Structure 1
Amino acid sequence: MKRLILTYLIIIIFFPAFGKDISFYVINLKGEVGPGLFRIVNKGITEAEKQKSDYIIFDINTYGGAVDAADSIRTSILRTPITTVAFINHQAVSAGALISIACDSIYMSNGSTFGASTVVNQTGEVMPDKYQAFMRAMMRSTAQVNGRDPSIAESMVTDSIKVLSLTPEEAVSMGYCEGKAESINDVEKIIAKESTFITTKQKITFLDKLISFLITPYLQGIFLMFIIGGIYFEMQSPGLGMPSVIAILGALLYFLPLYIEGLAENWEIFIFAIGIILIIIEIFVIPGFGAAGITGLLLTVTGLVFAMIDNDLFYYHGKFDFVPVIKPLAIVLLSSFLSLIISILIASRFSRGNSFIKLALHTELRDKEGFVGVARVDKLEGEEGVVRSKMFPSGKVEVNGIWYEATMENGSALPGDRVVIVRSEGGRVYCEHLPQ
């Protein structure tokens, strides 16, 4: 009886190990390293963890990209409990080298290289030493995590004459590569040895590609320019027209991908919406530009910035890290500034230039020919009048008993306010408040 029980216990303990396939999850890490690639890689790691895969293999072929995105990918790789494998399938340069070193093991195909991680700008010029120092420290710490020589990793970044890049043979001899392989299947066979294995490849949908495309910093900046530019033109000529449509479209394209991705939460969109409402109130209801307008602008910028930040940052109970805030804030402020400059230039071009003169009708409708048009306004400069409707900034003003279409040059006016006509254009007079 005891022998039977002992046999039964042995079967229970050891039977699951027999015939268990080793599971691999393959993630493609190809192309420029940026927010879109980070999103896809992070999603793949999460899926592999849900499936309880034994290994994650990163099929790497990249010439690098954004340092912050590479750091985010590196962090995700280091944090996952699953054993990670880098298969350098041609190139792992710059940011690609950092990502490869973050993996538990590295395999390289014949003719491939990795290294050359000097930080450069978009024109290929080497960045100042403070950027190189940051990259060197990150390469050293990443190498140390996986028991690799940190000095070799650091030499991939140095801005001296020789920046280290490794071939498969050199990487193996220096302990930076476990071996050579020509395909993902070869890597799996080396790791699995005599065991059977199953492979799951990450499936990237059209929606994944679209979202990854829309959250690139360049497009996010353009969407911000749509929002700011639309608001600017709407303030110049109030009314739900094309500027409003452009601003709303820009807001949708900006927030929707971030919301689907989980970066933008309800409270951030709510802050942005409240900011826009306050700006609208300032334009149409409250004369001048005061507390409501300033508060609205601050809330709008806050909502736009926080929507680009991973909300895990707000749940961390240690010292608040401002570094993740700097880039979104810079994108929002720079895009807003450029949008305002471009909007002002466009508005000036339309109002003063003659680029579209061929599209205008130049036929004169003379009084003596029987045509009756708007009241003559070309001789009203210097005349005083009384505001007859709210002007935010456009409305009606009465001069010498006649009502005219009018626009305030600065600020707004309420019925009963006295104004002076400073100029006229296109059948409309432009006013300023009388000096007190």
Structure 2
Amino acid sequence: MKSVFLAILIFLVSLSVGFAQNADTTSTKKLVYKLNIKENIAPAIWRQTNQAFAEADSLNADLLLIHMNTYGGTVLDADSIRTKIINSKIPVYVFIDNNAASAGALISIACDSIFMRKGGSIGAATVVNQTGQKMPDKYQSYMRSIMRATAESHGGDTIITAQDTTFKWFRDPKIAEAMVDESVYIPGIIDTGKVLTFTPSEAVKYGFCEGIAEDVPEVLEQIGIKDYEITEYKPTGLEKIIGFLVNPFVSGILIMAILGGIYFEMQTPGIGFPLIIAIIAAFAYFAPLYLEGLAANWEILLFLVGLILIAVEIFVLPGFGVAGILGITLSFTGLFLSLLNNINFDFEGVHPDRIMTALMTVIVALFGGFTMSLIVSKYIFTAESGAFKNLSLHSVQKIEEGFVGVDTSSKNLVGKEGIAYTVLRPSGKVKIEGKIYDAVAELGMIDKGDPVKVVKAEAAQVYVEKP
């Protein structure tokens, strides 16, 4: 009997140990959230980073790993990303697959731990324009400041423990500053006249890298995480749409749609489908450029004011003059500048190739849109059949069939009397039976208010004399 109880007891103990082991296995599995930054730092990367951190937080991720390979990008977006990293409650590590230059270096230094692949590099954070030329010192001063501040945020004797692995942390702010300013001299590390860039081994030696790894699994192994699950950030549908719409070819198509919609709206009565197409195309053109930080408020406003001036010229003012020319100029300028990463009218940071691409995109699109509008309108509005055939006049009203181009009702006024509505010298206006008509005095001048009599009517105009 004792042996039976002993066997049951051993079974229960082994079962509880098994449950404990399973529970321990489940509890030690780490959720690693991975964000790829493998292109230039720009507003799109900042938006994606924001989304990635929000998703990682909602999933209660244990670690956020940035897989990086970038030559840099805009300082403001990089600063936003590094601030997000510094304030993150989730530990943020970065694996530099190849390059972490300029803005990429700033983001990397903000992370809790840096790992690099052999042959990689980190540094060269001098602020340059898109032609590679060094920007004025006001830009360098800002970059030096945030590089120092970022390094200082990880200064001291902070200890980071990941299971059995312990890293002793210290990032020298002066080294971070030397990555921006060639005038910084650090004995044994960098001479003046050179901007600092570290290889992986140098970065490890001077505290700017915690390890060298070949891939993400090796990074996690060095951290001490063996049992893990990786969830990777995937761009949202909106991000994919924005990326598609900012393509120069698509931008050109949208400009053609804007022009075509406005042109066809002018050919049809009232407000209809063509105007809706133009508005949708304008929104699709400017909205992604605005989100990308390219189209500023004032550039969009230039375009809208230009359209208003063109409309005033067409529908209000006679002929085509200053308002029309100014409207075309403003609309063209708004479309053109919205494609450039300029600051007001400062194009120092804009590559000449980018300027030419934007200029040709707008010129070709406008010319193509105008040409296609003329061609398409010929087939849409003059065809004998089609969806829009009733929007234009196809029949010919011939004179021999009794059609005339003037109003003949004035002939009925011959012999009737009225008064001069204005002075007739000899032309002016008369009032007959409560209606105003264009009139010509047959003899001399007739003063305003004098009685008149219609003696004949020709070409919708009456001829009068004093009775």
TM-score interval for Structure 1 and Structure 2 normalised by the shorter chain: 0.5 to 0.7
Do the aligned partners of 1:106 and 1:176 also contact (CA within 8 Å) in 2? yes
Q: Which residue of 2 aligns with 1:165?
A: 197
Asked if 1:154 corresponds to 2:177, the answer is yes
Q: Aligned partner of 1:174: which letter?
A: Y
- Correspondences of 1:39-50 after superposition (within 5 Å): 39-50=47-58
* Distance in 1 between residues matched to 2:108 and 2:251, nearest whole Å: 30
- Name the SS for the 2:27 alignment partner: coil
In the alignment, what sits opposite 1:209?
A: 240
Task: Give 1:154 shift.
Answer: 0.8
Q: Name the structure 2 match of 1:134.
A: 142
Letter in 2 for 1:185: P
1:282 is aligned to 312
1:97-108 matched pairs, under 5 angstroms: 97-108=105-116
Is the 1:36–1:215 Cα contact (8 Å) retained in structure 2? no
Moved more, 44-53 or 249-258: 249-258
**Inter-partner Cα distance in structure 1 for 2:58 and 2:307:** 42
Q: Identify if the C-alpha distance between structure 1 residues 213 and 152 changes in structure 2 by more than 3 Å, giving closer, same or farther.
A: farther
Distance 2:83 2:251 in 1: 26
The match for 1:180 is: 212
User: Deviation of residue 204 (structure 1)?
Assistant: 3.4
Query: Is contact 2:244-2:250 (8 Å) kept?
Result: no
> Deviation of residue 342 (structure 1)?
5.4
State the aligned residue count.
307
Q: Distance in 2 between matches of 1:244 and 1:116?
A: 50
The answer on whether the counterparts of 1:35 and 1:212 sit within 8 Å (CA) in structure 2 is no
User: How far off its partner does 1:224 sit?
Assistant: 9.3
Distance across 1 between alignment mates of 2:242 and 2:254:
16
| 2:221 is equivalent to residue 198 of structure 1 | no
Shift in alpha-carbon separation, 1:94–1:220, aligned structure 2, 3 A: farther
Q: What CA deviation, in whole Å up to 9, does each residue of 1:379-409 have, x standing for no partner?
A: xxxxxxxxx9xxxxxxxxxxxxxxxxxxxxx
SS of the aligned residue for 1:89 comes to strand
Q: Secondary structure at the match of 1:92?
A: strand
Partner of 2:98: 90
Matched, 1:110 2:125: no
TM-score by length of 2: 0.51
Aligned counterparts of 1:102 and 1:327: Cα–Cα separation in 2: 31
How far apart, CA to CA, are the structure 1 residues paired with 2:315 and 2:111?
59
Deviations 1:91-111 (A, max 9, x none): 111121111112111111222
Aligned-pair CA distance for 1:279 = 5.2
Q: Over alpha carbons, which structure has the higher Rg?
A: 2
Residues 406-425 of structure 1: pairs in structure 2 closer than 5 A: none
CA distance in 2, matches of 1:213, 1:79: 32
**CA distance in structure 2 between the aligned counterparts of 1:129 and 1:61, rounded to whole angstroms:** 27
Structure 1, gaps ≥5 residues long: 1-14, 309-323, 351-387, 389-415, 417-436
Match among 61, 64, 83 for residue 53 of structure 1: 61
**TM-score by structure 1 length?**
0.54
Paired position in structure 2 for 1:251: 282
| Map of 2:398 onto structure 1 | none
Secondary structure of the residue that 2:85 maps to in structure 1? Answer: helix
Q: How does 1:373-388 map to 2 (within 5 A)?
A: none
Q: Whole-Å Cα distance in 1 between the matches of residues 175 and 292 of structure 2?
A: 38
Q: CA deviation at 1:174?
A: 1.4
- Residue 210 of structure 2 aligns with an amino acid whose one-letter code is E
Distance 1:227 1:276 in 2: 17
What is the aligned-residue identity percentage?
41
**Inter-CA distance 199–277: structure 2 relative to 1 (3 Å threshold):** same
SS in 2 for 1:19: helix
Q: Deviations over 1:168-205 (max 9, x none)?
A: 221122111122222111222233446x3221112236
Secondary structure of 1:143 counterpart: helix
Name the counterpart of 1:404.
none
1:32 aligns with 2:40: yes
Q: Distance in 2 between matches of 1:20 and 1:273?
A: 58
Identify if the C-alpha distance between structure 1 residues 93 and 219 changes in structure 2 by more than 3 Å, giving closer, same or farther: farther
